[in-house]
Amino acid sequence: MAKMDNQPPLLTLPEDDMRRMAEKVFGLIVDHFAGLKDLPVTTPSTLEHITEGLHEPMPTQAVPVEQLLAQLKTHVFDQMTHLDHPRYFAFVPGPSNFVSAMADAIASSFNVFSGAFIGPSGVAQIEVTTIEWLRELFRFPQDAGGLFVSGGSMANMTGLAVARHVMLAGNTTNATVYFSDQTHSSVAKGLKILGFQQFQLRKIASDATFRLSVDALRQQIATDRLQGLVPFCVVANAGTTNAGAADPIKELSAFCKAEGLWLHVDGAYGGSAAITERGRKVLEGIELADSLGIDPHKWMFQPYEIGCVLVRNREHLKNTFRFSAEYLKLNEQCAEQINFCDYGVQLTRGFRALKLWLSLKAFGVDAFRAAITKGIENAEIVESLLRNGDCWEIITPAQLGIITFRYRADGLDESALNELNNHIAQDIIYSGYAMLSPTILGGKHVLRMCTINPRTTHDDLKQTVGMLKSFGEHIEVKPTS
């Protein structure tokens, strides 16, 4: 027994080795943040090339940490698309920040459990405090509560699960949910996971500005009720992923109250703009939602993963998700405290709140407001650059940090223009200088830029638009007719 006690603990590095590894790891992280702007946004590669250095047999013996870090840098980090790059304009970027990255390292290193209030828990209190800050920022009432989850998909599904519990009391037969054709796919996915069938998901055609039409919604709900369906929930968009369009939330709230419907707002990407003066005008009424999903790992500049759901009445969260078990009796003894396992799906939860709490403290909320406003202004700069050219068609003007447009060339029909713009998107990606994503709006294949990274410069925007124009001028596409 004494001999065994003299052996080093399993799965443990000596202190000196830990310090050396920490120095190398944090050096790698600092190098990433300091040199990111000088890297290509993406490095085109093949699957064979990527797997060449990573497809390997399972190790049975230890490999030196230095060798592993070198392998990661060469075959993962040097080959990846950098969603935090200032010229990454595709989908919705994840700009992140160094302080929050360090918070994640701290939370993982201390292996923090935040599912329940065990003992005098500063962990739970930080989440309570940070949720309260978000409640204030989004102007929800005092009785509101919330929960940090993995991202917008889980935030939306959690809010919709609460709506199902409160409005339907378990009877989902013929119950229907309403949203526009621009609503993020995670909403339909979440509803299917919650047990709703396709006929219960009522997709409403958006108007000419890609917003949910209240008149069309009213007509569809009236028709459905005559057919024996049971409308119970409307999902509004606080910024669509495609075009940055914001549904008329205030008008939808009044309609839902009059019709006895739950209003869930998907603010995963655009909702954070509501904490700014300009964004609040676009998202008027967001504070009236019964539930709201937001994604701090998008426009609140946090590392993946952190989403958040806010619910107008916090008791609805607990009544939806709280379960009891013999092994949770200790939690029940702390019933006066908030046990976050009672507010969502997860029992074991990481310390997601720490990164948002630490970065809000380190920078101050005014810095976040300024960074979000800069993203809004960046899209307006792109629009100005495009309007000063003679080869661009604005499809949707700049709104909430997104603008869509396409290159036009004389003599090309719609099919050829679609092909041309798809080629432009591919060429800018393969160049490594910038990345944007094409999408389809009104049947047109268009280019789309999401400009929410606060480290993006005017020169980044100007050079990107210039390169897009150059690619358009040199791509040969023949008319299809």
Residue with tokens 């013999």: 326
Q: What is the CA radius of gyration of the chain?
A: 25
Q: Would the pLDDT of 326 be above 70?
A: no
Per-residue pLDDT at 2: 53
Question: Does 261 reside within a domain?
Answer: yes
Count the neighbouring beta carbons within 10 Å of the beta carbon of residue 119: 10
Q: Are residues 376 and 393 in the same domain?
A: yes
Question: Does 178 reside within a domain?
Answer: yes
Per-residue pLDDT at 184: 98
Query: Which tokens is 308 given?
Result: 């958040």
Domain ranges, residue 215: 104-363
Structurally, how many domains does the chain consist of? 2
Per-residue pLDDT at 324: 73
Q: Is the pTM of this model over 0.75?
A: yes
Per-residue pLDDT at 478: 78
For the chain, percent of residues with pLDDT exceeding 70 = 95
Per-residue pLDDT at 121: 83
Domain containing residue 257: CATH number:
3.40.640.10
Question: Does 43 reside within a domain?
Answer: no
Sign of the torsion formed by the C-alpha atoms of 237, 241, 242 and 245: positive
Q: Give the tens place of pLDDT for each residue, 120-152.
A: 589 999 999 999 999 999 999 999 999 999 999
Q: Give the tens place of pLDDT for each residue, 230-257.
A: 999 999 999 999 999 999 999 999 999 9
Q: Are residues 371 and 359 in the same domain?
A: no
Work out the pLDDT band at 329, boundaries 50, 70, 90. low
Last residue in a domain, options 363, 394, 410 = 363
DSSP-derived secondary structure for 302-314 = PPSS-EEEEESSH
Per-residue pLDDT at 338: 85
Question: Does 316 reside within a domain?
Answer: yes
Q: Show Cβ contacts of residue 274 under 8 Å, excluding neighbours closer than 6 positions.
A: 137, 138, 238, 267, 280, 283, 286, 287
Domain containing residue 449: CATH number:
3.90.1150.170
Last residue in a domain, options 343, 363, 383 = 363
Q: Which DSSP symbol is given to 383?
A: H
Q: Are residues 463 and 383 in the same domain?
A: yes
Question: Does 76 reside within a domain?
Answer: no
Phi, psi of 255 (to 5 degrees): -65, -45
Lowest mean pLDDT among 33-47, 82-96, 349-363: 33-47
Mean pLDDT for all residues in the chain: 95
Q: Are residues 219 and 329 in the same domain?
A: yes
Q: Would the pLDDT of 60 be above 70?
A: yes
Q: Are residues 354 and 414 in the same domain?
A: no
Q: Average pLDDT, stretch 210-215?
A: 98
Per-residue pLDDT at 51: 84
Per-residue pLDDT at 431: 97
Q: Are residues 213 and 232 in the same domain?
A: yes
Question: Does 97 reside within a domain?
Answer: no
Question: Does 449 reside within a domain?
Answer: yes
Q: Are residues 320 and 410 in the same domain?
A: no
Q: Are residues 386 and 316 in the same domain?
A: no
Q: Average pLDDT, stretch 171-192?
A: 98
Last residue in a domain, options 341, 363, 385 = 363
Residue 46 DSSP SS3: coil
Q: Average pLDDT, stretch 12-27?
A: 97
Give the residue, 338 or 383, on which the prediction is more confident.
383
Q: Average pLDDT, stretch 278-294?
A: 99
State the helix-helix crossing angle for 152-168 and 185-193, rounded to 10 degrees. 50
Q: In angstroms, what CA-CA distances link 157 with 46, 93, 232, 342, 423?
A: 35, 22, 15, 16, 36
Q: Give the tens place of pLDDT for each residue, 402-446.
A: 999 999 999 999 999 999 999 999 999 999 999 999 999 999 999
Q: Are residues 376 and 351 in the same domain?
A: no
Question: Does 23 reside within a domain?
Answer: no
Report the alpha-carbon distance of residue 137 to residue 131 in Å, rounded.
10
Q: Are residues 337 and 352 in the same domain?
A: yes
Q: Are residues 332 and 396 in the same domain?
A: no
Q: Are residues 176 and 206 in the same domain?
A: yes
